[in-house]
Structure 1
Amino acid sequence: MNNPTKGLTGSIVAIVTPMREDKSIDFEALARLIEWHVREGTQGICVAGTTGESATLNVEEHTQVCAFTVAQVSGRVPVIAGAGANSTSEAVELTQMAKGIGASATLQVAPYYVRPTQEGLYQHFTRIAEAVDLPLLLYNVPARTGVDIELATTLRLAKVGGVAGVKDATGSIERASEILHARPNGFGLYSGDDATAAALMLLGGEGTISVTANVAPTLMARLCEAARSGDARAAARLHLQLMPLHKSLFIESSPSPTKWALAQLEKIEAHCRLPLLSLSETAQPLVLRAMQEAGLFTPR
């Protein structure tokens, strides 16, 4: 597989899964979100990930959301399908689904809760990569999974055919620097932490799989363009403009703040599925203030 990360660059939105009041999936709203992102310069869509509430989607819904997104995008930007699981066999099945619907790549989170060893992680991701011929992005988010894909394991996996890159959500610029220093050609590094995304890209990372891009797609696309072209001043200006939003979108469990913010922009309804709740009234003014500071449209 020659340079599997080609085309997977810039601002890739970790898109929410819109839901109605009865908690059914709102596909009409999802279609509108996708069209908005394409117009505003988002360079890729990651569907059915953490921000897409994948943990609350059943297998049929997971497939429907991914297939709908691929069809709606219709090749205009890459689509990364969330296909991770804490069971290797289930992750293989989801990856086979992603290939069947025409996704550009999959995002594979470290198995959560079971806390595998580093060798277990290596064998898990290798098995998926060998089973399905589709670029695979590792997803390292130890704060959620309880296990870190350590640097040595990441670099070992980077040599496995089909393992195209890593979404690093540790927020550690030191870790990012170590990956950039030692990675083989064609292995992409993507930020999974909006607050450090600009720095990661200025160092040479390919892009960000972003929560903030849900709410501020144009600004995140501009930030990525500036950072990836080496325009540190412009990247810093946009980073500081967005920093309050980066923080406020995690003031309560994600994606509750993001969905509430999108509801203020009249893009979707703010509903989440249990055990997640809609954003509390206490937190709402803080998110609204951050939206105002970013210069986004806010209610009259």
Structure 2
Amino acid sequence: MITGSIVALVTPMIPSGLEIDWDSLKGLVEWHIQQGTNAIVAVGTTGESPTLDVQEHMATIAAIVEDSAGRVPVIAGTGANCTKEAIEWTHRAQESGADACLLVAPYYNKPTQEGLYLHHKAIAESVDIPQILYNVPGRTACDMLPSTVCRLAEIENIIGIKDATGDLGRARELIETCPPEFAVYSGDDSTAVELILMGGHGNVSVTANVAPRLMADMCRLALAGVTDEARDINKFLSLVHDAMFVESNPIPVKWAVAEMGLMKHGIRLPLTELSHELKAQVSKALTLAGLLN
């Protein structure tokens, strides 16, 4: 089972945003491994999956698999609002050597709970790779209810869920009602430590892009039940958690990673660089956490 701090990795780009910066991507993967990140999500929301074309999407997954060289698990983002497309992308991620796939609930077309069940069931039955559900209703306009998650948890290769609702009551229900071997991951940095302390398995993190060592330590301590120390790290990072969402993700985190000198400033339309008036706020949060000089 994949546990701990799982970075939702940004996709570095050249300043125009028109091309991926492969050298910086390689550097980021190496940095995360050295900093103790437990697993990498390739081309999730934070990796700008909505605006990468299919060739770029698959090439990025393959590059991260190659660069990580089996040292940490790679979870490929392969969700789509078209079931046929999601199956194809999941097949291709498996062929690239990904260890698991992260499948966002279909967005925009707003399927019913039965539609969500049949969508994920079809993907799981078509591709024999471990699959993690991803519920983020604030982006998809579609909420996968715990009862649907528990039905899907009975399918052998659906191994967990990233719950990005930030609702700890929802998280507790998932942990208590799904099978014990089904992993529940936080998708909300601010509440991740509490989710893990109540029995969750880790955190798919935006903040880990800028504070990988601290997030890995926080998750490790929470998984070990070292409550006070885990909460202390979370409190220390609270301003960073907030700063990463002052504008739509991944706008703030990409700006922050570039300011730390780990890649160039580059983001793809329709997203734009962080607004000038918010840069001081993000910079202050990073500086107070010792992440930026």
Q: Calculate the TM-score normalised by the size of structure 1.
A: 0.96
Between the two proteins, what is the percent identity of the paired residues? 50
Contact kept, 8 Å, 1:44 with 1:79, in 2: the verdict is: yes
AA aligned to 1:238 is I
Q: CA deviation at 1:185?
A: 2.8
Contact kept, 8 Å, 2:283 with 2:292, in 1: the verdict is: no
Size of the aligned set, in residue pairs, is 292
Partner of 1:54 in structure 2? 49
Q: CA deviation at 1:107?
A: 0.3
Specify which of 139, 142, 164 is matched with residue 137 of structure 2.
Answer: 142
Q: CA deviation at 1:295?
A: 1.8
Contact kept, 8 Å, 1:256 with 1:270, in 2: the verdict is: no
Determine if the alignment matches structure 1 residue 35 to structure 2 residue 1. no
Determine if the alignment matches structure 1 residue 20 to structure 2 residue 14. yes
Per-residue Cα deviation, 1:134-183 (whole angstroms, up to 9, x for no partner):
00000000000001000100111111121110000000000010111111
AA aligned to 1:279 is L
Q: CA deviation at 1:22?
A: 2.9
Contact kept, 8 Å, 1:34 with 1:73, in 2: the verdict is: yes
Distance 1:228 1:285 in 2: 34
Stretches of 4+ moved more than 4 A in 1? none
Distance 2:252 2:61 in 1: 23
Contact kept, 8 Å, 1:18 with 1:271, in 2: the verdict is: yes
Per-residue Cα deviation, 1:190-225 (whole angstroms, up to 9, x for no partner):
000000000001111110010000000000001001
Determine if the alignment matches structure 1 residue 69 to structure 2 residue 64. yes
Q: CA deviation at 1:86?
A: 0.4
Partner of 1:11 in structure 2? 5
Q: CA deviation at 1:292?
A: 1.6
AA aligned to 2:144 is I
Matches within 5 A, 1:179-198: 179-198=174-193
Contact kept, 8 Å, 2:6 with 2:202, in 1: the verdict is: yes
Distance 1:289 1:204 in 2: 33
Bigger mean CA offset, 177-186 vs 48-57:
177-186
AA aligned to 2:261 is E
Partner of 1:80 in structure 2? 75
Q: Calculate the TM-score normalised by the size of structure 2.
A: 0.99
Bigger mean CA offset, 287-296 vs 224-233:
287-296
AA aligned to 1:294 is A
Contact kept, 8 Å, 2:16 with 2:267, in 1: the verdict is: no
Structure 2: state its 5+ residue gaps.
none
Determine if the alignment matches structure 1 residue 158 to structure 2 residue 172. no
* RMSD of equivalent CA atoms: 0.7
Contact kept, 8 Å, 2:16 with 2:268, in 1: the verdict is: no
Bigger mean CA offset, 25-34 vs 286-295:
286-295
Distance 1:297 1:41 in 2: 19
Partner of 1:232 in structure 2? 227
Distance 2:227 2:39 in 1: 23
